[in-house]
Chain A
Amino acid sequence: MGGIKSIIKKELADHFSSYRFTIIFALIAMVSLVTAYMVGLNIKQELEGVAKPRFIFLMLFTSTGTLFSLVQFVAFFGPLVGLILGFDTINREKNAGTLSKLLSQPIYRDVVINGKFLAGVAMISIMVVSIVLVITGLGFLTIGIIPGMEELWRIFIYLIISIIYISFWLGVAILFSILFRSTATSALASLAVWIFFSFFISLGANVLANALAAESSDASTEAFVQQAKIVKAFSLISPMELYTDATATIIDPMRKSTRSIVSVGPLENLSMSRFSGPLPLAQSILVVVPYIISLVAITIICFAISYTVFMRQEIRSM
């Protein structure tokens, strides 16, 4: 069946010609350009006269300029891209009366949803890859460094994780577009989920940890560690945390664990990272594999729910 190819082709054409896509792409391109440029200048200044540290190229993505680093930016706004691409996937066609037309053609029903999801993933990949390429180019210009092989690998893995992460949000949006008939409702519902995970989970994690292992001034180290563990376990519900943890070690080889329990001052932090050696690539991958698997798993679960709901819906209600 050539059905899925034509659906993907049509979806891609729709995305490329839509104002929506142009606007978010312009926005993201602008932010990443500005961030990369600022960070580049920053790095250049700081490294004046200092011996060149390793993985300078990766710092383009991780060091915060005036606002935030690019990695933080993708973690926070990447979901929005996925949501915007997907929130009206199915209900728009339902409302326009074109869905039943599609389904009365000789194609399987899952071809429609698979094609739309894959087209979205393709869009996300194009977006993420082009942003990273732009930043790489700017890095050449502003600091004049050429990335090494290992750095390129790390960027590649980072790209893959980012695409999976944003695709998860695309899946969430598609699910809502199946569940709700009105596009406004599905947009709102997906935004609500995004806000919940980005702001409330970390808050909730702290509250929960406080409730389970009360913090007091004379707390023992064990209690402190216990509390930190609860916070961490709970915040892993959030795909954002999963993503941040998964990318942190990949893109920042100086980090040994995904997150330090004991907080240290910025100066201490700096000296620690200056004198410690980087984690080899293979080890970094080993550290983040569980996070990547979890990300893939929640994406698949989300898509599977959409799939089942969509396959069971009665055409009459379409």
Chain B
Amino acid sequence: MSTEAIIETQDLTKIYSGQAAVEKLSFAVHRGEIFGFLGPNGAGKTTTLLMLLGLTEPTSGRARVLGLDPARDPIKVKSKIGYLQENMGFYLDLNAKQMLGFVGELNNVTGDEARKRIENALQMVGLIDEAQKKIGAYSRGMRQRLGIAELLIKEPEVAFLDEPTLGLDPDATNRMIELIQRLCRDKQMTILLSSHLLPQVQKICHRVGIMIKGQMVAQGEMDQLAKEKLGVGQEKYTLEEIYMKYFQEA
């Protein structure tokens, strides 16, 4: 892991009809790390992700992703970032292979290369045996894993995962968390993970950022945040304690 910043924002601000959803946000994500993007619902996490993807234009401030400006170069940025959106939708009457084939086509991945990538992606997320089933018959956990397979088709350097574990049962949650770890370890992906499952985040994330009411109130390594907030000598802390401390202060 290096400290080269792969995502960087400076005073990023988004105002929706007079209200600031994201306010003067500055943070950085380093290459190869899993960055835990925390915060209550409606704190502006998804809006931030949309701006980083070039799907929404910031009102002011700027962002750089892989050296590109998403507001100027959205197509290039989108081809390099895998985005797993919250409550993602699927074409329910397609099967997994067709869905991945379609995503491949949109990314200009076709022919043998597409077949190879689809096979590998299905293998990695453990859906190879269900590849011919219609997505409509998939469980929620399987759909989320298919979502991961979709972003693997792009072979992206960076993945934004917005609530990938939302609504999953404990077993499916663990599989998802393990999968995310493997993406980082085996595929060398940089991952921006937004989640409310603090124990899991604590387990797999290298650094975290806490966003409240459109502002990043803290970012850094968890040990360091624990020192700042809970006092020195707290060897055994949980991320939840840190989070609640910040949340109550805000």
Contacts and interface: CB of A to CB of B under 8 A. Distances in A.
A315 B88 CA distance: 14
Interface string B68-107: 0000000110110001010111111100000000110111
Contacts of B85: 97, 100-101, 104
B159 to A, nearest CB: 12
Interface string B24-51: 0000000000000000000000110010
Interface stretch (A2-10, A46-54, A127-135): A2-10
Interface string B140-151: 000000000010
Interface of B: 16, 46-47, 50, 53, 55-56, 75-76, 78-79, 83, 85, 87-93, 102-103, 105-108, 110, 150
Contact of A101 (B46, B88, B92, B105): B88
A315 B76 contact: no
Contacts, number: 66
Contact of B76 (A2, A9, A106): A106
B47 A98 contact: no
A107 B75 contact: yes
Contacts of B103: 105
Given A10-B102, A97-B89, A316 B107 contact: no
Contacts of B91: 96, 98
- Interface-centre pick from A1, A2, A6, A101 (highest chain B CB count, 10 A): A101
B93 A104 contact: no
A301 interface: no
A100 B87 CA distance: 11
Interface of A: 1-3, 5-7, 9-10, 17, 93, 96-108, 314-316
Contacts of A314: 16, 56
Nearest to A93: B89
A6 B106 contact: yes
Given A1-B108, A3-B106, A97-B89, 10 more contacts: A7-B106, A10-B102, A96-B91, A96-B92, A101-B150, A105-B107, A106-B76, A106-B108, A314-B56, A316-B47
Contact of A2 (B53, B56, B93, B108): B108
A294 to B, nearest CB: 37
Given A96-B89, A104-B85, A315 B75 contact: no
B106 A97 contact: no
A159 B188 CA distance: 57
A302 to B, nearest CB: 26
A85 B90 CA distance: 21
Nearest to A97: B89
Contacts of A316: 16, 46-47, 50, 56
A28 to B, nearest CB: 24
A2 B50 contact: no
A3 B75 CA distance: 12
8 contacts: A2-B110, A6-B105, A104-B85, A106-B78, A106-B79, A315-B56, A316-B16, A316-B46
B75 A101 contact: no
A231 B46 CA distance: 55
Given A96-B89, A97-B87, A106 B75 contact: yes
A148 B196 CA distance: 74
B82 to A, nearest CB: 9
- Interface-centre pick from B16, B56, B88, B92 (highest chain A CB count, 10 A): B88
Contact of A106 (B87, B93, B107): B107
B78 A105 contact: yes
B106 A105 contact: yes
Contacts of A99: 89
A305 B99 CA distance: 31
Contacts of B89: 93, 96-101
